[in-house]
Copies of this chain bind each other. A is one copy, B any other.
């Protein structure tokens, strides 16, 4: 089949000059659209989030298998089509970011995981109908063996921003994020179909738990339960149960009897 030729339509500007410097969860960045393509941006201001497809010009193209970044050296390599690694036959990068502002033909983004000068080949609006797949399952990012506590908190903060938007950090929001990080460090797989969560009243915790843990009322992993006043959420698997309560500003895990 004939090769395909693409012309860069813009370029990323970020503070990171090599792929290894790019933080796993990205950083604020801009995309400069070249003058010839400027009119294609008309209307983009109405989109809260945009897909950016870039071309990782420095990535290896001849590898079909790789290890996830920062995984243990003993973990087996996987096919690159089952990973978001930049190493792949056509090293396209796909990432969605919040569009903070458009200044002429420059787009200001809340975060991007592209290194400086990455060519951009396409921009598309996020389409909730196509792109928002609450029921998706598969490999996820909360493997405690790959993350420090600080990185876990960053990953969960990123997912919370996706679920709740950029609104002011609320006490419930930061408490849930810390609680989920504590559970992960206690080797609770928060996205496992057998991990359940309960909260006392339906509020923003629902959005945050659905976005971070894939628990929902539809899959019967999320419950409204009457819980003691001090309890932020209850989590249980077939083996272990925790009440998470907030004591002097930080979450505390209180082990409970496993559910009967």
A residues whose Cβ falls under 8 Å from a Cβ of B: 1, 3-9, 11, 33-34, 37, 39-44, 46-51, 53, 55, 57, 64-65, 78-84, 88-90, 92, 94-96, 119, 121-141, 155, 158-159, 161-165, 191, 202-208, 210-211, 214, 216-219, 222, 224
Interchain CB contact under 8 A, B134 and A210: yes
Chain B: CB-nearest residue to A85: B124
Complex interface: chain B residues within 8 A of A137 (CB): 48
> A40-B89, A202-B217, A207-B217 given. 6 additional CB < 8 A pairs?
A53-B92, A88-B122, A128-B136, A129-B159, A204-B218, A206-B206
Complex interface: chain B residues within 8 A of A55 (CB): 4
Complex interface: chain B residues within 8 A of A57 (CB): 4
CB distance from A59 to the nearest CB of B (A): 12
- A64's contact among B39, B129, B140, by CB below 8 Å, is which? B39
Bound Cα distance A211, B206 (Å): 13
Bound Cα distance A80, B79 (Å): 33
Interchain CB contact under 8 A, B135 and A48: yes
- A128's contact among B46, B82, B208, B214, by CB below 8 Å, is which? B214
Interchain CB contact under 8 A, B40 and A81: yes
